[in-house]
Structure 1
């Protein structure tokens, strides 16, 4: 009983009833146009006082309503907004924009016709049934009502009928509520099919989300590789300089110069990445670093932090395509950054070469954290929680270029090995 009461008179049912009454109000102009046409055809001057002519006017107005929805694309978002607010539908179940295709306009016309049709019927019942039900409920009580019967059928004047009048009045009210709840439920069930996105719209939305996710992932990789490497290098350089501040001023000057250069370059890269997020800013207000132009500076800044890096380059980085050169720089940067974080002070071997149209990058360092940053200067590694995104970013870059990536420890040595195709359609 409680479930039935909630389905007929609950909050959702009442909101859907309001939605139907709104449909009845929208149907009134079309009904008036129908009366203008039906009046001359029927020869009657009192169309509004004759029920058959009113029904004919209502039936003639519904096609006009459908034509309105076909001609005005904005009818779709307006109806969808009303259905979302009053029919208890999920926000993503219905379209938010105007109808752009003939199929969408046709479904909008069908929905608009149903909304106005059901709304007109329920609105008419809502106006007529409650007064009649109220009269039936109180009819057995006042003598004046029993005598006049207010134009009610003669059978209600029978003694056996009077006790049943209140029950009939209550039944009429329940029938009205049930009819409104049923029509509202039907409209809520049909709304996603008639006002919801088509499979083509869903596919386009999925492609847009995928493109947006790709941009976000690219920005995340750029921020991680540039800013993350810079912060790790600056932290190690500053720590090393602090330890030898009183004993090796020359090293301190080198470390401070490396920190200045690292932060200046990182600010430029950060501006380039954030420019993609700003409306009106072109993506890339500063040139992205490449292997050909920035490898020497990257190795020098890493060494300034106390890391012993041996770099072996057996090809000309200037011969690489710009895209491969940019991605290769980020891969080398992340490899050296991992060595700084997890094997600080340990010797790092960087090898860059190429054969058979493929660029080969290898970064090796001993597994472990304790190391020596300078002869006689002991420095522990820098622990870092929440990591693990660097290797994932490298794998993403390599996969986008159609290359291969392997990383792991073997025999006490951590090895990052990357192969990138750089001849052909990259």
Structure 2
């Protein structure tokens, strides 16, 4: 019983009832235009004195309403009203003007349906409650059951008079049921008639996928470039502070490495942020590559105190540009992880070679209890895996026998 009451008189049912009444109010001008057309057809001056002529005016007004629904703001306005009053999710509705023939046809069908159902429910809402109230009060007000109301004779009988309140309540419940049913049907049909077309849904999904791809690429670039720079600068500054009095030459080298790291990172940051600027391309500064920037990366890493041994059996200059760029970022992130978890004095072994038309990158460093994942970390390893996967390769990382090992394989041939 509680569920039935909520269905008929709950907040959602009341809002949908208001939505129908608004449709009835919108239908009134079209009914008036229809009545103007009915007069010359029937020769009756007072159209509203006859219920059949009123219904005829209403029927003639609906096609006119369908034509006016082609006005561009109709679909956005109807979609907004449906969202707030009918409880339809925003992502299931289209808020732009109807542009294609299919969208215009569905908008016209919805507008006609809204005004048609709204006009009927609004008319019932005006006529039924007063009559139902008269039936409920009839046994208690003698003036209501005489012939002045034009009621039929059963209400002059004792049994008819006793059943009058029951009939009045039943009429009110029937009105509420009709309003709730029409409101539920309109809410169910709204996404089909006011929602985006399948083509628009596909286009929106493609746009979201492209936007997500750009955001993921920017996140990877920012994480790898800025994250590495902050880790390296922190370790270099710490090393310079510790040996400032005992080894000024090493301190000067560390400070020079900090300056070089910051300058390069600012250029990379400008290149990444250029993607976000209107009218800019992928960035003003060229992306770092393994061929041009590996030596500088190793020099800056060693300036912080890390002992990096590098074995490069491949020829970086012969690598395809996409492979060279992604390989640089993978090496950079591998060194960053080693510094972040092992400290400035960590020993890192880097091997780069080519086997079976695949560039292999291996970064190894010892790890201990302090080398576990930091809170909120793990994005770098996911970024490495994403970079390798986009090139058709693979990457894996893990620890065994006290050594943390990062291994990546990037194909040198095929689509990149």
> Same fold by TM-score, threshold 0.5 exceeded?
yes
TM-aligned CA deviation for residue 106 of structure 1: 2.5
RMSD over aligned Cα atoms? 2.6
Is residue 2:138 matched to residue 1:139? Answer: yes
CA distance in 2 between partners of 1:147 and 1:220 (Å): 82
In the other structure, the counterpart of 1:347 is: 347
Q: Is the 8 A contact 1:364 1:416 kept in 2?
A: yes
What is the distance in 1 between the residues matched to 2:355 and 2:146?
A: 110
3-state DSSP of counterpart to 1:416: strand
1:110 paired residue number:
109
Conserved? CA contact 2:63–2:112, under 8 Å: yes
In the TM superposition, what is the alpha-carbon distance from 1:291 to its structure 2 partner? Answer: 2.0
Q: Which moved more, 1:222-231 or 1:305-314?
A: 305-314
Alignment partner, residue 153 of structure 1 = 152
Whether the aligned pair in 1 keeps the contact of 2:290 and 2:324 (CA below 8 Å) is yes
Question: Matched residues in 1 for 2:237 and 2:147: separation?
Answer: 102
Task: Give me the whole-angstrom Cα distance separating, in 2, the residues matched to 1:318 and 1:107.
Answer: 60
Q: 5 Å matches for 1:2-401? A: 2-69=2-69, 71-147=70-146, 149-279=148-278, 281-344=280-343, 345-354=345-354, 357-365=357-365, 367-368=366-367, 384-401=374-391
- The 1:306–1:382 alpha-carbon spacing in structure 2 relative to 1, beyond 3 Å, is farther
Worse overlay, 412-421 or 229-238 = 412-421
Per-residue CA deviations over 1:289-329 (Å, capped at 9, x if unaligned) read 22232222111100101112233334543333332222121
| Bigger shift: residues 86-95 or 52-61 | 86-95
Shift in Å, 1:195: 2.3
Shift in CA distance, 368/12, structure 1 to aligned 2, threshold 3 Å: closer
Q: Cα gap change, 1:412/1:68 in structure 2, threshold over 3 Å: closer, same or farther? A: same
**1:369-421 deviations in whole A, cap 9, x for unaligned?**
59xxxxxxxxx989844332222211111111112334344555443333323
TM-score (norm: length of structure 2): 0.90
Q: Secondary structure at the match of 1:350?
A: strand
Provide the C-alpha distance between the structure 1 equivalents of 2:167 and 2:272, rounded to a whole number of angstroms: 73
The alpha carbon displacement at 1:16 in A equals 0.7
Q: Is the 8 A contact 2:62 2:112 kept in 1?
A: yes
CA contact (8 A) 1:406 1:418 kept: yes
Q: Tell me, what secondary structure is at the counterpart of 1:276?
A: helix
Q: Give, in angstroms, the shift of residue 126 of structure 1.
A: 1.0
Q: 1:287, CA displacement in angstroms?
A: 2.7
Query: C-alpha distance in 2, partners of 1:242/1:152?
Result: 103
Distance change (3 Å), C-alpha of 1:338 and 1:143: closer
Check the 8 A contact 1:341/1:384 in 2, yes or no.
no
Assess if the C-alpha contact under 8 Å between 2:361 and 2:409 holds in 1.
yes
**Any stretches of 5+ residues in structure 2 without a counterpart?**
none
TM-score normalised over the length of structure 1: 0.88
Which stretches in structure 1 are left out of the alignment for 5+ residues? 371-379
Q: What secondary structure sits across from 2:276 in the alignment? A: coil
Match of 2:395 in 1: 405
How far does the alpha carbon of each residue in 1:344-384 deviate from its partner, in whole angstroms, 9 at most, with x for none? Answer: 4243233334466543333333x2359xxxxxxxxx98984
SS across alignment from 2:235 = helix
Bigger Cα displacement from structure 2, 238-247 vs 277-286? 277-286
| Gap change, CA 1:213 and 1:412, over 3 Å in 2 | same
Distance 1:424 1:6 in 2: 63
Residue pair 2:107, 2:194 contacting (<8 A) in 1 also = yes
Offset of 1:151 from its aligned partner? 3.3
Give the Cα–Cα distance (whole angstroms) in 2 for the partners of residues 347 and 143 of structure 1: 104
Q: What is the alpha-carbon distance in structure 1 between the residues aligned to residue 394 and residue 141 of structure 2?
A: 94
Relative distance call for 1:405 and 1:6 in structure 2 (3 A) is closer
Asked if 2 retains the 8 angstrom alpha-carbon contact of 1:137 and 1:166, the reply is yes
2:414 is equivalent to residue 421 of structure 1:
no
Tell me if structure 1 keeps the 8 A contact 2:38–2:57: yes
Matched length: 415
